[in-house]
Chains A and B, each alone.
Chain A
Amino acid sequence: MAEINREEVAHLARLAHIDMNAEELDRMAGELAVIVDSIKRVSEVAGDEIPATSHPIPLSNVYREDVVGETLTNEEALSGAPDNADGRFKVPAILDGE
């Protein structure tokens, strides 16, 4: 399995939308290398014949009647937002320029 290095951490941080400075990237890469090294043993016992478990207690899909239940009011939904206007969430520009 590939090792985790500084370049990889920088790429992952971009994917995860977390700005990191040079010092953080160095530290994170060092710590994660140790952690990844200790957990990669899992593939030793994970043979092809073993099924995967995603959920501890097997359940089938859960449905409900298609009727309106308890919902938040517009005001409640916006109550924790950093910014809002006209009853909607207000966000900075999605695209650069223009």
Chain B
Amino acid sequence: MTELIRLSAAALAQKLGSKEVSAVEATQAHLDRIAAVDGGDDGVHAFLHVNTDEALAVAAGVDKARANSEKLHPLAGVPIAVKDLIVTKGQPTTAGSKILEGWHSPYDATVIRRLRAAGMPILGKTNLDEFAMGSSTEHSAYGPTRNPWDLDRIPGGSGGGSAAAVAAFEAPLALGTDTGGSIRQPGAVTGTVGVKPTYGGVSRYGAIAMASSLDQIGPVSRTVLDSALLHEVIGGHDPNDSTSLTDSLGALVEAARLGNVEGMRIGVIKELQGEGYQAGVLTRFGESLELLRGAGAQIVEVSCPNFDYALGAYYLIMPSEASSNLAKYDGVRFGLRVVPEGAPTIERVMGATRAAGFGDEVKRRIILGTYALSAGYYDAYYGSAQKVRTLIQRDFDAAFKQADVLISPTAPTTAFKLGEKLDDPLAMYLNDVATIPANMAGVPGLSLPGGLADEDGLPVGIQLLAPAREDARLYRVGAVLESLLEASWGGPLLDRAPALRVAAPNPEAADRVETSTAGGTN
């Protein structure tokens, strides 16, 4: 497996650094892969926009700088995909919504500035549930993304596009956002790695807000080390985000390279297993615990009784904040404007614009949030939910007295069929039952592949959780577990994913394809 597109970001960075491969070759190889597997009726459809010209220009700039022996960032020339909730100059940003169709941001998100400063070519913008509201990408106004393991199944959500892009070898790295599991759950069902950093650890400036007290940008990759490398690029204090932490991130890459968990206490969360969890998910989870025990970690059981209320509290806090954040889409300053017949007032224009521009799930959450914040219900709903948030934090505090890191399955099931839960919002919400507590408490979480479920042969995700500001522990334990699992499988899990049907390249692109393939078979 020495093809360029199958290399990890770390391995690709090494080949770029030693001039074995050029950044243009690496970028072109991924653009060709996107052209081959992303389009058509049964394509992966991870991308909403492909940024061909800019990506190649940035790559050419990196190659030139390297030829001149300029000092470059270690990831310079490593291409990346960006969730279309993060604003970018020079490319459209839609948030997966018709209300922002064709909109271009006049500024870059802080994380985008940091990617540009590192010389990382941006391949394009990835698909998501509209305004990041969903667990399957089926709520995207531009059609769903398909899971590369089985094109009839969901890639998770809301960041299904970023996870599928990485799983389908369309990009070695991607950015996601995680409000209740939107990085980790797609990681779990696509057999990839996703990290939700500590709240405030990565700037949210330029991430289109859903629920501001829960949203967090984070890395998406195929290996734990790659996420650590990307986390160090995008993380750290940003004065443009008033909730950005001023603390250092910790030595994340170093932690991922440490390679031992001896003596670490790993807490199994009692409430995040058992009923509602698929048998194959629990079997693989149990095996991961055994591997960690074998590596010298101490496995303890912890109880977080208030996690049972986390989903309910989340579906009060998140829609409340979302209904407020989405009030700005009113047909005045940006996006869609629908003008009804006659000589309507601005109020009627807003009503018509929002009716036409928002999809069902967004409307559901806006109405729910408006309800929860209404006079008379506020204390019972929003007020109670905020108290539950305190209780969840206390559960975490108590658990982290007994354990250095907590562990659970990332999602209760493997990837379900497209359409299966679309008409049952509550069933859809339950996919996030294990990931939501981390957002409620602001603690970091990582999902990594834990194997394939016996009953359906689909990926299972293992979630690690650490105390706030201790993201490094996730990378330390995650990298060890990953290497133990890969040793037991005889290679990365994605080696076992079925080959995707490759579209015939158009004649003009044929030369380029050959060149990049030759460049990749080192």
Docked complex Cα distance between A63 and B336 (Å): 34
Measuring CB to CB, which residues of chain B are less than 8 angstroms from any residue of chain A?
103-107, 198-200, 213-214, 239, 242-243, 245, 306, 309, 311-313, 315-316, 323, 327, 330-337, 339, 343-347, 349-352, 354-355, 358, 363-364, 366-368, 370-371, 374, 376-377, 380-381, 383-391, 393, 425-426, 429, 439-443, 468
Q: A34-60 CB contact bits vs B (8 Å, 1 = yes)?
A: 111011111111110011111111010
**Cross-chain contact A72 with B213 (CB below 8 angstroms):** no
Residues of B within 8 A of A24 (CB): 363
- Cβ–Cβ < 8 Å partners of B358 in chain A: 18
Q: Are A52 and B104 in contact (CB under 8 A)?
A: no
Which residues from chain A contact B313 at a C-beta distance below 8 Å? Answer: 39, 42
Query: In the assembly, what is the distance between CA of A9 and CA of B367, in Å?
Result: 7
> What residue in chain B is nearest A96 (Cβ atoms)?
B345
**CB neighbours of A15 from chain B (8 A):** 370
Instruction: Tell me the count of chain A residues lying within 8 A, CB to CB, of chain B.
Output: 57
How far, in whole Å, are A72 and B333 apart by their CA atoms in the complex? 13
Q: Are A91 and B346 in contact (CB under 8 A)?
A: yes
A19 to chain B, nearest CB (A): 4
**Contact status A81-B371, CB under 8 Å:** no
**A7 adjacent to chain B (CB < 8 Å):** no
Whole-angstrom CA separation of A50 from B355 in the bound complex: 39
Query: Which A residues are in CB contact (< 8 Å) with B323?
Result: 16
> What's the least CB distance linking B326 to chain A, in Å?
9
Q: Is the CB of A89 within 8 A of B332?
A: yes
* B344 contact set on A, CB distance < 8 A: 92-93
- Once the chains bind, are A12 and B346 in contact (CB under 8 Å)? no
The interface residues of chain A lying within 8 Å CB-to-CB of B384 are 42-43, 46
With A16-B366, A45-B388 as known contacts, state yes or no: A38 contacts B355, CB within 8 Å.
no
Q: Is the interface of B mostly helix, strand, loop or mixed?
A: helix
- CB < 8 Å: which of A2, A32, A47 contacts B364? A32
Contact A57 B387 (CB under 8 A): no
B442 and A56 within 8 A (CB)? yes
Tell me, in angstroms, the Cα distance from A62 to B351 when the chains sit together.
36
- CA–CA, A5 and B273, complex, Å: 35
Q: Check A80–B333 contact: CB distance below 8 A.
A: yes
- Determine whether the beta carbon of B306 is less than 8 Å from that of A45: yes
Please tell me which one of the listed residues B199, B346, B363, B387 contacts residue A50 in the complex, with CB atoms under 8 A apart. Answer: B387
The 8 A CB mask of A2-15 against B (1 = contact, 0 = none) is 10100011001111
CA distance A83 to B354 in the complex (A): 17
Chain A residues, Cβ within 8 Å of B387? 42, 45-47, 50-53
Bound CA span A8–B372, Å? 12
Chain B min CB distance to A49 (Å): 9
Q: A39-B316, A57-B199 are in contact. Are A1 and B390 (CB under 8 A)?
A: no
Q: Which of A1, A28, A35, A57 contacts B315 (CB 8 A)?
A: A35
Complex CA–CA separation, A15 to B388 (angstroms): 27
Least distance between A59 CB and chain B CB atoms (Å): 6
- CB-CB under 8 A from B331, the residues of chain A are 82
Complex Cα spacing A50 to B352, Å: 42
